């Protein structure tokens, strides 16, 4: 087995492209949102809090992205009997709200987007629109 393996990294240009596409969708559906894009390690690459968004959704938007990056899967699918256990075990880092999606390019996780302040379905719609702006990204 090799000591290092090739991997793709999301650039800040890519992160901002996703951010602005998500923002455009949020404006189109008239839902003020907090939108966060992280790298595959969960570190914040780009963020915007729209006028009128819930301020406390800043935290949940970032945590949704971090959870999606960590799980390499959309957020919100943790079985009910596990959600509190996992949240407690990770100091609240793992959230179980919809609105976090992994960003996958050529089968590699390069980051995640987390959206919060709308309904969970609105959050997902905005997150999807963000990822759709990255032509190489796998739709989620």
The contact pattern for its own copies, residues 30-59, with x = CB under 8 A and - = no contact, is: ---------x-xxxxxxxxxxxx-xxxxxx
Q: Does 77 bind its own copies (CB under 8 A)?
A: no
Please, which residues bridge with residue 135 across strands? none
Q: Which of 110, 115, 109 is nearest to 130 (CA)?
A: 115
Burial zone of 124 (CB within 10 Å; 0-12 exposed, 13-18 middle, 19+ buried)? buried
Q: How many CA within 13 A on the CB side of residue 54?
A: 11
The contact pattern for its own copies, residues 4-23, with x = CB under 8 A and - = no contact, is: xxxxxxxxxxxxxx-----x
Q: Does 132 bind its own copies (CB under 8 A)?
A: no
Residue 78 CB, shortest distance to its own copies, in Å, is 10
Q: Is 90 helix (H, G, I), strand (E, B) or coil?
A: coil
Residue 41 CB, shortest distance to its own copies, in Å, is 3
Q: What is the distance between the alpha carbons of residues 55 and 89, in angstroms, rounded to a whole number? A: 25
* Contacts with its own copies, residue ranges (CB under 8 A): 1-17, 23, 39, 41-52, 54-60, 63-64, 66-67, 69-72, 82-97, 105, 110, 116, 134-136
């Amino acid at each position: 087995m090799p000591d290092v393996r090739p991997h793709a990294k999301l650039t800040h240009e890519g992160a901002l492209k996703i951010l602005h596409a998500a923002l455009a969708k949020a404006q189109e559906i008239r839902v003020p949102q907090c939108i966060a894009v992280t790298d595959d390690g969960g570190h914040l690459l780009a963020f915007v809090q729209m006028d009128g968004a819930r301020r406390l959704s800043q935290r949940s938007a970032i945590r949704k992205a971090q959870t999606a990056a960590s799980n390499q899967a959309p957020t919100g699918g943790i079985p009910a009997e596990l959600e509190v256990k996992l949240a407690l075990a990770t100091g609240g880092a793992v959230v179980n709200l919809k609105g976090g999606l992994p960003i996958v390019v050529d089968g590699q996780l390069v980051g995640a987007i987390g959206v919060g302040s709308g309904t969970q379905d609105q959050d997902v719609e905005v997150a999807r629109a963000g990822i759709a702006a990255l032509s190489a990204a796998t739709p989620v």
